Structure 1
Amino acid sequence: MTAANGPANAHVVPGQVRATARVAVVGSLNMDLVARVARMPLPGETLAGQTFAQVPGGKGGNQAVAAARLGAQVSMIGRIGDDSNGATLRAGLESEGIDCAALVATPSTPTGVALILVDDGGRNSIVIVAGSNGALTPDDIARHEAVLARADVVVCQLETPPATVMAALAAARRLGKTVILNPAPVTGPLPAQWLPLVDYLVPNELEAATLTGLPIGSPRDAVVAAQALVAQGARNVLITLGSAGVVAAFGGDDPVHVPAPRVAAVDTTAAGDTFIGAFAAQLAQGASTDAALRFAQRAAAISVTRAGAQPSIPTRAELDAAAC
């Protein structure tokens, strides 16, 4: 793997730590309704749950919290409902030191929710109801472009409307920012005009399979998928494989498999978001891609040993202590 950062951030010297690292996250915020079950129910089956919790989540919110806890100054661009869930989500972000000036309350639409089942193996199944996330518009991006202009790294996902994601990617590219896209959830190949706007494409194995049409059942399959995404025009690709690690293709180099730290998983919810937030924070601090990847893997490994989405995300101090 190379030690270069994304081409849009060429003014950063790899390995040179910035005094201030700024990340802007454009994306979703949900209230997660989480039930733990012994196993996933079959169609038409009713199971008794073990526990229930209501915790802040949403891919955008999770990634913002991860970046903030792991060393970056973070701003959030998104929409919540003008309701109790929205107030709770805003308060949670603000308690992490996240700038919420561009987090807009939408009176006519409730805050998004995610219905999450977690089984005894730590695996999850998730259903998302977009709610106010679906009300985030390209006009919101234009209105808050100054937030993107202040950032070193801009992070997007696909839990907001495609036109809004496109507007954020285009604005970030025009402003010369390093751009990370987490293509989740995804239903097919990305629009052709998106990939030139993205420095780091970070799908999991299911998303990579959907993007490429290739089956992924092993790291070797993920290498082939990463090669296909690079051939489609992706600059840098990281395919996260859960406990199997990450397959990364940086700067035209051949894809390589980087195994994950071995831990006992309790709940994998937000592990991918933790990885992306940690990776973004490290890039914003001027870390090399290799160092950022391994830092992000360590953060994600800690997150899966804890229950919940945002409650599972570790701090920089915890990572530093674990490395000693």
Structure 2
Amino acid sequence: MTASASPPPRAFVLGNFVQACCWQVARLPAPGETLQAHGFHKEAGGKGLNVAVGLQRLGARVQTLIGCGQDAAADELLALLATEGVDATHVHRLPGPSGWGAGLIGADGHNTIAVYPGANGLLTAAHAEAARSAIEAAALVYGQFETALPAVQVAFEIAHRQGVPTVLNPSPWQAPPAALRSATHTLIVNELEAAGLLDAPALLTLAVADIARAVRQRQQALAIAWPALRRLVVTLGARGALGAERGDDGGWRLVHVPAPAVDALDTVGAGDGFACGYVTAVLAGQALGTALVWGNLCGAHVAARRGVLDALPFAAQLEGLLAGPWPPPEKLTF
């Protein structure tokens, strides 16, 4: 990353907000079992909010569309966005409570999470339409499925028609409608989501090279189902990330970037950290392999720390991570 006299790129994030409450436990409980927690942490959360704040910290000018409630949690959200410098023009206070989330985090860093969407589910296509000018002026639009699907779909359609790149993290996984698939340029999925996307349940047990082969074998069907898709990124946790890029000739090239070694304390939000690093690299004009490196570094930075918002890196921290040793991209050929 180098300093530039030009203004930073603008990202529009289809956000969501949950007041996240996390308990640290020695291990995740079995069904019906009650365990005593040894730690507790509360912070503003939500996949879209995490990415909006993370991108802003890494140098993008961010606008976000979020639905929050008529409660104290929403007051805290607006104060946070103001502190971070995120444009809250399209944050809407809607009837009822804001979203809430509960997470259990084991000593090994693994977690289980439940989320009540609250006001996030009240966003509509009209809210996205009202943000048309901001979407059309963006350098990139990012969305995920903790935001109401109609708002995500309309925002992506607006961006696609304007030629603005769109990046979708379809989490929590659900089969997207055809209109959204036709307006999505990049997909970021984890292994579980990739198994649903590729209709390949065995994917979770495969080695990286075999996952790449599964992507290659399904590339034609993927191109038909997702006609605007140019990139597929599969995050693999401690194994790094796999990227597939579709060329003008319709062929796909694949690259794998191993993850940096890290002692994971809390994997909640690591995927959002990855998305922040990846999107920042894309906004900077970096190639796919480099974008995967930036994503891995930011994801590992989050996983090595407790919480999410406090763990999301700033631009100077990413500079430091890039200066250190990190695993290089590996091109995969078959």
TM value normalised by structure 2: 0.87
Can you give the 5+ residue segments of structure 1 that lack an aligned partner in the other structure?
1-14
Q: Distance between the aligned counterparts of 1:305 and 1:128, measured in 2?
A: 23
SS in 2 for 1:48: coil
2:29 aligned with 1:34, yes or no?
no
Q: What are the residue-to-residue correspondences of 1:26-65 with 2, within 5 Å?
A: 26-65=14-53
Q: Distance between the aligned counterparts of 2:176 and 2:239, measured in 1?
A: 25
How many residue pairs were aligned?
308
Q: Distance between the aligned counterparts of 2:137 and 2:263, measured in 1?
A: 39
Aligned to 2:209: 220
2:233 aligned with 1:238, yes or no?
yes
2:166 aligned with 1:167, yes or no?
no
Q: Distance between the aligned counterparts of 1:16 and 1:266, measured in 2?
A: 32
Identity value in percent: 33
Aligned-pair CA distance for 1:322: 3.2
Aligned-pair CA distance for 1:243: 0.8
2:121 aligned with 1:103, yes or no?
no
Aligned-pair CA distance for 1:225: 4.4
Aligned to 1:156: 143
2:302 aligned with 1:291, yes or no?
no
1:168-209 deviation digits (Å, cap 9, x = unpaired)? 11111012111000010013x332333331111001111111
2:112 aligned with 1:125, yes or no?
yes
Q: What are the residue-to-residue correspondences of 1:4-15 with 2, within 5 Å?
A: none
Which residue, out of 155, 177, 180, partners 1:191? 177
Q: Distance between the aligned counterparts of 2:322 and 2:140, measured in 1?
A: 25
Q: CA RMSD in A?
A: 1.8
1:133-161 deviation digits (Å, cap 9, x = unpaired)? 00111000001112212210100001122
Q: Distance between the aligned counterparts of 1:102 and 1:148, measured in 2?
A: 11
1:17-72 deviation digits (Å, cap 9, x = unpaired)? 76421111012111111001111111110000111111111000001111111111
Q: Which amino acid aligns with 1:197?
A: A
SS in 2 for 1:202: strand
Change (3 A) 1:229 1:119: farther
Change (3 A) 1:229 1:162: farther
Q: Does the 8 Å CA contact 2:257/2:289 hold for their aligned counterparts?
A: no
Q: What are the residue-to-residue correspondences of 1:253-264 with 2, within 5 Å?
A: 253-264=252-263
SS in 1 for 2:88: coil
Q: Does the 8 Å CA contact 1:16/1:286 hold for their aligned counterparts?
A: no
Aligned-pair CA distance for 1:123: 1.0
Worse-matched range after superposition: 251-260 or 117-126: 251-260
Q: Does the 8 Å CA contact 1:69/1:315 hold for their aligned counterparts?
A: yes
2:66 aligned with 1:66, yes or no?
no
Q: Does the 8 Å CA contact 2:243/2:289 hold for their aligned counterparts?
A: no
Aligned to 2:328: none
Aligned-pair CA distance for 1:257: 2.1
Can you give the 5+ residue segments of structure 2 that lack an aligned partner in the other structure?
224-228, 324-334
Change (3 A) 1:323 1:276: closer
Q: Does the 8 Å CA contact 1:29/1:133 hold for their aligned counterparts?
A: yes
Q: Which has the higher contact order (CA 8 A, sep 6+)?
A: 1
Q: Does the 8 Å CA contact 1:271/1:301 hold for their aligned counterparts?
A: yes
Aligned to 2:332: none
Aligned to 1:5: none
Q: Distance between the aligned counterparts of 1:279 and 1:85, measured in 2?
A: 29
TM value normalised by structure 1: 0.90
